[in-house]
């Protein structure tokens, strides 16, 4: 009952947000209110796109493109008068859903065996197309009453059965592609009250039957001959099974966590790293810094007391190595202050969006039963947090004594969103060019651009204006006129080694979750481990902050005061590891049959790494900023 409350509340909230975000009423939010059917009522079956999947026989990803169900070469049976589009939320469309009507006729509670659908003709080139999709392991995705048609799989570790959305287009049997033309549809229903039934589970068993007219011919399969014209009949059977599962928990069997042990193991692993790191940083902060500060202040006092008598005491302090020496330079603005401010503004926007989305997901608002909710919420939050981005970038720029204000106002809303959109657009052109129908429709792109211009850009400019109006942060020490010479430093303090060393830790906190996220993106699987994701995100923030503060402390001790860019790059270096892990995933789990898939995969991996770079870099910079402000405000400088 509680769960139902949460999901319906989520639906209400999300629909309010969705309404607020969509300028036209073309997109609406599908609610999760239960639909009740009477005995014999028609239950519609909708078809979604075809997606590449990992079959049990061949767990490799062979393509990244998805196809419209009514893509001409498939020749799937169409309803009378042609298929109609089902309206969807913006997030659902952006994440690839293309839902349309189908010719299947399902009546609540009425079993039917071997209903004929239609006969289709496959020319040789169609046969080539379909066969290669079977080799690539494509899945069909259907929806009945909002539930995905699934295959019953067993968890190899626990032997627990669960529903895995999607079922195979065909099967490769000893090198021959067999095309499925008969579907056994098993629907679980639950009697909510007298003559009021609800759909609570959908399984589809596809078969390939050469003579499908009597539906018993499991012996000879349909193999599309690539040299002649093939005729294939499509049939289906429907079986309704009474189930004790109530509507409120019908998604449970779909939201299967594959291997919870791996998640816990990685979580404990990264927690150990974090404890170790935080221990190290706090030792330094508490012990070393306290000692440093006490010593500096004592020497200062000493120098003042004995001024005149012992003239070289002050020189003695100045000779002292350590971070105090650079107090006159540590707040000197970095090179390219505009670029850094814009990056940090965008990072703050990304951070706010990610944190709030994960928090929302954790509260159960974004369960997969709200189709497309995740995508929609991401867009809404990102749009609204344009304000945060503008504000942070302006305040940082002011702190850096920036002067090109117009550029700062302009670049902040356009830099990262522009990059994301450009990549998205280019890769979509690729998908279009490839002839796959999984490309995001042009109108949807247009809607996204309109939302961005009408809401996000003004909010960002307003935020920048507010930040610009406020007084700059006051640095605790004055900056000298003449920059100090930086002594050469070796070892791990050089830029590349320090980045390589520091970046690996935040990456270590997220890489297992990252693997699961990539699996769910490329294999279109349900991702519902937001609890783990939340903890990992927290650990990543702490590690990024701690490791960067540590590096910056060592850097300042080596009398190098260029900490601003360094802190950004030190934390951001984890993005390089993210990209490397995408490449590793390619080597391990992917086997392309065309180079275009590789291009799209690399493009999205690069984009993902870029976002991780800006996000972690911003965390590193902000942590270092706080740290530097703190330590220099606790020493006395004449
Ligand atoms: C429909 O088929 C299912 C599965 O074979 C069976 O359990 C059920 O009793 C059948 N229902 C009717 C009304 O025949």
Q: Whose CA is nearest to atom 7 of ligand 1?
A: 241
Any atom of ligand 1 within 6 Å of the Cβ of 111: yes
Q: Whose CA is nearest to atom 6 of ligand 1?
A: 241
Question: What is the atom index within ligand 1 of the atom nearest the CA of 239?
Answer: 2
Q: What is the pTM of this model?
A: 0.86
Which residue of 107, 111, 188, 244 sits with most ligand 1 atoms within 8 Å of its CB, as the best mutation to test the pocket? Answer: 111
Any atom of ligand 1 within 6 Å of the Cβ of 569: no
Any atom of ligand 1 within 6 Å of the Cβ of 243: no
Helix and strand element counts for the chain (H, E): 17, 17
Q: What is the pLDDT at residue 638?
A: 63
How many angstroms is it from 107 CA to the middle of ligand 1?
13
How many angstroms is it from 188 CA to the middle of ligand 1?
11
How many angstroms is it from 239 CA to the middle of ligand 1?
6
How many angstroms is it from 111 CA to the middle of ligand 1?
6
What burial letters (b/e) apply to 227-265, b meaning 16+ CB within 10 Å? eeebebbbbbbbebeebebebbebbebbebebeeeebee
pLDDT digits (tens, 9 = 90+) for 65-122: 888 999 999 999 999 999 999 888 888 888 888 899 999 999 999 999 889 999 999 9
Three-state DSSP class for 230? strand
Q: Whose CA is nearest to atom 14 of ligand 1?
A: 111
How many angstroms is it from 106 CA to the middle of ligand 1?
14
Question: What is the atom index within ligand 1 of the atom nearest the CA of 240?
Answer: 1
Which residue of 188, 191, 240 sits with most ligand 1 atoms within 8 Å of its CB, as the best mutation to test the pocket? Answer: 240
Any atom of ligand 1 within 6 Å of the Cβ of 239: yes
Question: What is the atom index within ligand 1 of the atom nearest the CA of 109?
Answer: 13
Any atom of ligand 1 within 6 Å of the Cβ of 142: no
Any atom of ligand 1 within 6 Å of the Cβ of 240: yes
Which residue of 241, 242, 243 sits with most ligand 1 atoms within 8 Å of its CB, as the best mutation to test the pocket? Answer: 241
Whether 124 and 230 have beta carbons less than 8 Å apart is answered as no
Q: Whose CA is nearest to atom 12 of ligand 1?
A: 111
How many angstroms is it from 302 CA to the middle of ligand 1?
94
Q: What is the pLDDT at residue 210?
A: 81
Any atom of ligand 1 within 6 Å of the Cβ of 189: no
Question: What is the atom index within ligand 1 of the atom nearest the CA of 111?
Answer: 1
In sequence order, which ranges of 308-385 are alpha helices (DSSP H)? 312-319, 337-362, 373-384
Which residue of 184, 191, 236, 239 sits with most ligand 1 atoms within 8 Å of its CB, as the best mutation to test the pocket? Answer: 239
Containing 199, the helix (H) or strand (E) segment is strand 196-207
Q: How many CB atoms lie within 10 A of CB 465?
A: 15
Three-state DSSP class for 113? strand
Q: What is the pLDDT at residue 460?
A: 95
Whether 372 and 349 have beta carbons less than 8 Å apart is answered as no
Q: How many CB atoms lie within 10 A of CB 304?
A: 12
How many angstroms is it from 515 CA to the middle of ligand 1?
41
Pairwise CA distance, residues 578 & 446, whole Å: 31
Any atom of ligand 1 within 6 Å of the Cβ of 310: no
Q: What is the pLDDT at residue 574?
A: 94
Closest CA to 31 of 88, 90, 102, 85: 88
Phi, psi torsion values for 185, nearest 5 degrees: -100, 115
Q: How many CB atoms lie within 10 A of CB 493?
A: 17
Pairwise CA distance, residues 66 & 438, whole Å: 5
Token pair 């799209």 is at which residue?
600
Written in H, E and C, the secondary structure of 380-392 is: HHHHHCHHHHHHH
Which segments of the chain have a pLDDT < 50? 1-31, 307-319
Q: Whose CA is nearest to atom 4 of ligand 1?
A: 239
Any atom of ligand 1 within 6 Å of the Cβ of 241: yes
How many angstroms is it from 112 CA to the middle of ligand 1?
9
Q: What is the pLDDT at residue 303?
A: 59
Closest CA to 509 of 199, 255, 272: 272
Question: What is the atom index within ligand 1 of the atom nearest the CA of 186?
Answer: 4
């Amino acid at each position: 009952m509680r769960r139902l409350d949460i999901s319906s509340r989520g639906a209400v909230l999300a629909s309010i947000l969705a309404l607020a975000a969509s300028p036209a009423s073309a997109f609406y939010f599908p609610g999760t209110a239960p639909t009740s059917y009477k005995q014999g009522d028609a239950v519609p079956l909708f078809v979604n796109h075809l997606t590449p999947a990992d079959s049990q026989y061949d767990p490799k990803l062979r393509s990244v493109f998805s196809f419209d169900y009514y893509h001409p070469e498939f020749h799937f049976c169409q309803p009378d008068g042609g298929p109609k589009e089902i309206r969807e939320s913006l997030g659902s469309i952006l994440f690839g859903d293309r839902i349309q009507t189908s010719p299947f006729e399902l009546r609540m509670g009425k079993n039917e065996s071997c209903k004929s659908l239609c006969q289709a003709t496959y020319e040789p080139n169609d046969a080539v197309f379909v066969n290669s999709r079977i080799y690539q392991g494509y899945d069909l995705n259907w929806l009945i009453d909002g539930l995905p048609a699934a295959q019953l799989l067993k968890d190899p570790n626990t032997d627990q059965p669960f529903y895995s959305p999607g079922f195979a287009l065909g099967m490769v049997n000893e090198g021959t592609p067999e095309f499925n033309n008969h579907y056994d549809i098993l629907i679980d229903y639950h009697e909510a009250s007298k003559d009021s039934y609800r759909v609570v589970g959908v399984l589809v068993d596809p078969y390939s039957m050469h003579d499908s007219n009597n539906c018993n011919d499991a012996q000879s399969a349909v193999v599309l001959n690539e040299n002649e014209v093939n005729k294939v009949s499509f049939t289906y059977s429907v079986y309704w099974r009474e189930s004790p599962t109530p509507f409120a928990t019908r998604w449970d069997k779909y939201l299967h966590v594959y291997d919870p042990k791996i998640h816990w193991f990685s979580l404990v692993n990264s927690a150990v790293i974090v404890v170790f790191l935080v221990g190290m940083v706090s030792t330094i902060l508490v012990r070393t810094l306290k000692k440093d500060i006490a010593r500096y202040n004592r020497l200062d006092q000493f120098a003042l007391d004995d001024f005149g008598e012992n003239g070289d005491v002050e020189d003695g302090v100045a000779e002292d190595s350590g971070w105090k020496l650079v107090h006159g330079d540590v707040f000197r603005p970095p090179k390219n202050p505009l670029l850094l401010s814009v990056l940090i503004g965008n990072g703050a926007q990304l951070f706010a969006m990610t944190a709030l989305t994960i928090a929302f997901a954790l509260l159960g608002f974004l369960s997969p039963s709200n189709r497309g909710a995740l995508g929609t919420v991401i867009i809404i939050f990102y749009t609204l947090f344009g304000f945060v981005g503008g504000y942070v970038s302006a305040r940082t720029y002011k702190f850096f004594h920036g002067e090109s204000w117009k550029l700062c106002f302009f670049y902040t809303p356009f830099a990262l969103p522009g990059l994301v959109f450009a990549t998205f657009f280019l890769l979509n052109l690729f998908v279009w060019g490839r002839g796959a129908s999984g490309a995001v429709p042009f109108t949807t792109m247009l809607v996204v651009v309109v939302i961005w211009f009408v809401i996000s850009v003004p909010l960002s400019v307003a935020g920048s204006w507010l930040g610009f109006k406020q007084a700059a942060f006051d640095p605790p020490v004055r900056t000298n006129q003449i920059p100090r010479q930086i002594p050469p430093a070796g070892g791990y303090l050089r830029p590349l080694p320090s980045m390589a060393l520091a970046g690996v830790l935040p990456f270590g906190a997220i890489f297992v979750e990252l693997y699961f996220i990539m699996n769910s993106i490329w294999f279109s699987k349900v991702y519902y481990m937001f609890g783990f994701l939340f903890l990992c995100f927290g650990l990543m923030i702490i590690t990024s902050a701690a490791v960067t503060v540590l590096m910056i402390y060592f850097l300042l001790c080596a009398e190098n005061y260029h900490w601003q860019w360094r802190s950004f790059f030190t934390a951001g270096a984890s993005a390089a590891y993210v990209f490397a892990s995408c490449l590793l995933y390619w080597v391990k789990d992917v086997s392309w049959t065309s180079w275009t898939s590789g291009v799209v995969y690399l493009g999205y991996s690069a984009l993902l790494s870029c976002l991780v770079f800006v996000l972690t870099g911003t965390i590193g910079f902000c942590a270092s900023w706080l740290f530097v402000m703190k330590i220099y405000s606790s020493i006395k400088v004449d």
